[in-house]
Amino acid sequence: MSYTGRCACGDVAVDIAGEPIQTRQCWCRQCQRIAAGGPTHNAIFRAGDVAVDGPLAVDSYRAASGNTLTKWFCPTCGSHIYAQSSARPELKTVRLGILDDPHGLRPQMAIWTDDAPVWALIDPTMERYPQQPPSPVAPNA
């Protein structure tokens, strides 16, 4: 399976050749700031499976996990394209909102649920982690 996508203005395109290792909904405070109060919705792919075409801006910060999180986004419209953790540079976490429909992906787990606001609605069928979940393991190529 492969996935394609683009930022809101169309300046950045992605082409992903492979299936996600995991899909997550993240409620950490930084993700809530990025997502205007809600969670981010993400799919984790092997870095080598994700090709990006177009200009990117970059920002890094120390995440609640203690790792450095670097996120790449479109410098024109601000759409987040993907992020990488210093703990797992072999993986790219792609924002589900940039993928073309119908992509069929949905979060399998909710993470950092201790940081979710009291009004958050989290699907009770999803696996939950109050903070950082175990690291995803990429299957051998």
Residue 33 is classified by DSSP as H
Buried b (16+ CB within 10 A) or exposed e, 124-138: eebebbeebbeeeeb
Pairing of strands 40-46, 91-95: antiparallel
Domains of the chain: 2-128 (2.170.150.70)
- For the stretch 104-120, pLDDT in tens is 999 999 999 999 999 99
- For the stretch 17-72, pLDDT in tens is 999 999 999 999 999 998 999 999 999 999 999 999 999 999 999 988 888 999 99
Question: What local confidence, expressed as pLDDT, does residue 75 receive?
Answer: 97
Question: What local confidence, expressed as pLDDT, does residue 42 receive?
Answer: 96
- pLDDT band for position 96 (cuts 50, 70, 90): very high
